[in-house]
Amino acid sequence: MRRLLTVLAAGVPLAAAVYLPTASAEPQNAAASTPVSCSTVPVKAPAGTEVESVTAVRQAGGTIDGTGVLGGTVSGVPAFCEVTVTLTHPGDDDHAKVRTWLPEQGWNGRFQALGGSAYLAGDNGVGLGTAVKNGYAATSTDAGVGDAVDVSWALDAKGQVNTALLNNFASRSQHEAAVVGKQVIASAYAKPASYSYFTGCSTGGRQGYMEAQRYPDDFDGILADAPAVNWDEFEVATLWPQVVMNNEKTYPAPCELTAFTDAAVKACDSLDGVKDGLVNDSARCDFDPRRLIGTKVVCKGKELTITAADAVVVRKIWDGPRTTSGEKLWSGVPVGADLSALAGTSDPDADGNVKGVPFPVPQFWVSSWLKKQPSFDVSTITYSQFTELFKQSEAEYDEIIGTDDPDLSDFRTSGGKLLTWHGQDDEYIPTDGTVAYREQVERRMGGTKKVDDFYRLFLAPGTNHCGLNGKDGNTDGLAALTAWVEHGKAPQTLPATLINSANEQVDRDLCSYPQVSRYKGYGDPDAASSFRCVAPFQH
């Protein structure tokens, strides 16, 4: 999601825009590597569906170009068989395609299902290609909807919400893809997969949590990162920065927003015991944006002075949505995150005026699913109207797409493992929402230690949305998950390479929540060995 704004606003091509878990794995046994012939296979329709068609096409592999706005490429993909199963729900007039890519040679015996991004329900080809390259048989579904920022399917011909396609996107198509993918694999290789995994970030992360909550037997392991849980709440909350700017009639320039972020990171950097360009315990950062009033910054060659009005806007954005009476509705943008992602503005017009440019995902949610008017102008939303929309979204959509049920008893009983990392500088999905969900699970299921047996959360300092698989850092969550599922090795920490505020790589061991990383007082600040995981400060 984090690259969509850049793409839409500037038309910049995307490189490696798709979330990619990177682990490869050795075959489970010799039989698992049996070559597969590319032919159609019998598929039993999942409950409530009908199979419209089944096709099988041999693909030579090589370089796979990702489709749609996300783009991206993956090279070195071996030859595979692509089996496409089209499903429909009788009476719903939907057509959901489930694609399963089967390595011709070297299958590692495992099944991997892949999630989507923004309003894209599944993978655009790059993740599937990466999975095949790493030896997995892989499945993804389009749920019968569109691309990442295509919401043309939201309303039916009568202008009402298309509940069938929303249900597809929210939950049922992902489960059906798991059912179909397993069937295809078992038929093609004449044996079932030894282990089944789900991987996804953002929308894909939400889909992973949905699977654990609603279909606990689908997967042995779920890697669900920066999960878009609490969708009905946080999706409206992501529009808050625009609402603030429009109501305060103040639009800080991008470089002014950067100045606020840089100042906050600098002020809170040493809270973990050392200045290393990372805020390791962001919950303790209480930087007051009013400290920058009067500061001069240069934007595109023009000197600007930060005003009290600018500071008010930033304070409200960091604080998060509230009602007009001060009731807290949701978490704000983290202090280390890129404020311009959600507080985007246009270039000045001939008179020097600018206006807000909302991020498309929450804009579309409000206009299409709440107002049922795709052309609705979100810039007209007042503070009181924002509260009404927030409450409306909760009332209408929590049961459909909230994905926040803390009862994971069935998933625990099934033996499943859930692993999540989430960047503490996530500019689109506040980490606090994921933390709040984890704490709800702990309260429901007996506390931290009991939940750690099957569900672990790792927070990544200095990391933005889905930012640990590319230029913004990296970690191998899938390798940690497979070790946990297949060998019982629960990850105590998650080794990662992070990017600090000076754009330098530093090694860190991400701590299992609720612990945080703290400098030992000696050693190289760039080395993971110089830090240890400790209990957080109590507030």
Q: Catalytic: which of 465, 501, 509, 530? A: 465
CA 423 – CA 242 distance, rounded (Å): 22
> Any idea of the CA torsion for 237, 242, 248, 254, to the nearest 10 degrees?
120
For tokens 């946080």, the residue is 234
Closest CA to 82 of 18, 22, 17, 140: 140
Q: Which amino acid is at 137?
A: A
CA 77 – CA 130 distance, rounded (Å): 7
Look at the alpha carbons of 190, 191, 192, 193 in this order and tell me if their dihedral is positive or negative.
negative
CA 375 – CA 367 distance, rounded (Å): 7
Closest CA to 245 of 83, 356, 409, 104: 356
Answer whether 500's CB lies under 8 Å from 276's CB: yes
Q: Which amino acid is at 150?
A: D
Residue 324: burial class (beta carbons within 10 Å; 0-12, 13-18, 19+): exposed
Q: Catalytic: which of 225, 272, 425, 426? A: 426
| Greatest Cα-to-Cα distance within the chain, rounded to the nearest angstrom | 71
Look at the alpha carbons of 54, 55, 58, 60 in this order and tell me if their dihedral is positive or negative.
negative
Q: Hey, which bits of 60-174 come out as E strands?
A: 62-65, 73-77, 80-88, 96-103, 110-114, 137-141
Answer whether 499's CB lies under 8 Å from 505's CB: yes
187 in active site:
no
Look at the alpha carbons of 25, 26, 32, 33 in this order and tell me if their dihedral is positive or negative.
positive
3-class secondary structure, 530: helix
DSSP 443: H
426 in active site:
yes
Closest CA to 295 of 318, 327, 263: 263
Look at the alpha carbons of 311, 317, 318, 319 in this order and tell me if their dihedral is positive or negative.
positive
3-class secondary structure, 337: coil
CA 378 – CA 157 distance, rounded (Å): 23
Q: Catalytic: which of 202, 367, 512, 517? A: 202
CA 201 – CA 468 distance, rounded (Å): 10
> Any idea of the CA torsion for 330, 332, 334, 339, to the nearest 10 degrees?
140
Give me the sheet containing 137-141, strands edge to edge.
50-59, 80-88, 96-103, 137-141, 110-114, 195-201, 221-225, 417-423, 455-460
**Residues noted as catalytic:** 202, 426, 465
